[in-house]
Amino acid sequence: MRKKYHRFNRLTGSITKALGLTFLLTGSNMSFAGQEVLSKADQFFDKVAISGYLSQGIQSVEADDGAFDLEDSNMSAGFNRFRYALGFDIELNDQVTAFVELSEEPNDFGVDYTPHVDLALINVALNEQLTVQLGTIVTVLFNFRGYSDGAVVQGNPLIGNSPADMVTAAEGMKLIGNYGDFHWDLGVSSSDFGESFGGDRGLTYLARGSYDFNEYFSLGFGLASSRHGDQVRNGSSDIIRAGLYQGDGDNYRFRSSDTGGIRNTHAGVIPGLDSTALHIDGQYQTEQTTIRLWAGQVKDDFSFADSNGLATVASLSQGFIEQESEMRFIGLEASYYFTEKFYAASRYVLVENKAEGVRRDEQLSRSQLGIGYFYRDNMLIKAELVNQMEQENSAGQIGDDWQGVMMEMSFIF
């Protein structure tokens, strides 16, 4: 019995030593694995910088009784959908960087509660002056203006955008140059945010440049040419158009836009098929004051068509006709900082419908007046009064004048 007991003790001791060695080795491996994970995490954050954007808005807007959709003239006040975005700046090597933005952007993608890839770019620096950019390039004509894009709103002194902003994103490439005070880019895109290889799709070509005369005053221009009209001429069933002529989604949600992207507050006479556009702009900026002035003209060989085959605006469109459409626009924006944290801003934009057969009642105008207060360095509170006038033959898509008040709170981190 005593021998069995001693053998049992020796066996127990051996098992204990074996378990101890196993735990020691396992603990060491876990420690090494943990160190490896931490090391990889350090390497990741050495290469990737993450930024974030959050915004929440409140609106009370309503159209007059002549609106195309009667529900737009019987609107209630309420909260806009919450917007958020995460931006990833990635350093792939000392010559190549990338940017990816994931965003929930109801004004652009609609209210489907799904984050989207809003931008995805790779920048290859050829030298200190030249960069090649690939991906969903920003297709834009203006140079200086701030723009509200989903949750990324703090570059815009007001809440809404201009009704004649030519901007969106599409798959393509750019050559970007910076030579001292002269900045330019040349781009080509498929005009679509996804992949499109159907027949007759065509391309959009872009050119933009600006020159800083001194620390206060700058001038710029933008040109665009889109060639997608053969899709219509040859009876394609799925028409791809250059989206920059319809803007990138505004912040005024009318009932007629339902749960889709907000395009019906933008000027809507240019389909973006066989289109050409010219834009010029200037900026005067000091520490307290910013003044921006711009003008432009857009033509298209095609027009939106209603069910009777007559030219109309995008919100009433049932197709396209080969009839020239044209709009001209001017805009003025000013902001003034009373203190480092508090400012006032205003914007006025006039759009004229110069399409064939339109000789009167062709004006759309938007007036905006607002204030902003930086409650913290990264927290901005804005309020805005807006009034849009849409004459009978204008580029307006709501159908009658509309007005309202907006408030917005936004954060960046």
| Predicted pLDDT of residue 34 | 60
CA dist 406 and 159 (Å) reads 7
| Confidence label for 359 from pLDDT (cuts 50, 70 and 90) | confident
pLDDT grade for 42, boundaries at 50, 70 and 90: confident
Q: For the segment 174-227, what is each residue's pLDDT rounded down to a tens digit?
A: 999 999 999 999 999 998 887 878 888 899 999 999 999 999 999 999 999 999
Read off the tokens for 239. 């028409």
Q: What is the pLDDT of residues 76-131, one digit of tens each?
A: 999 999 999 999 999 999 999 999 999 999 998 888 888 888 899 999 999 999 99
152-171 pLDDT per residue, tens = 999 999 999 999 999 999 99
Q: Starting from the edge strand earliest in sequence, which strands make up the sheet with 303-305, in order?
A: 311-312, 303-305, 319-321
Angle value at C-alpha 269, between 201 and 157, nearest 5 degrees: 100
pLDDT of res. 44: 75
Q: Which two tokens stand for residue 147?
A: 């723009």
The yes-or-no verdict on residue 11 having pLDDT over 60 is: no
Sequential DSSP letters for 48-99: EEEEEEEEEEEEEEEE-TT-SSGGGGS---EEPPPEEEEEEEEE-SSSEEEE
Whether 7 shows a pLDDT value over 50: the answer reads no
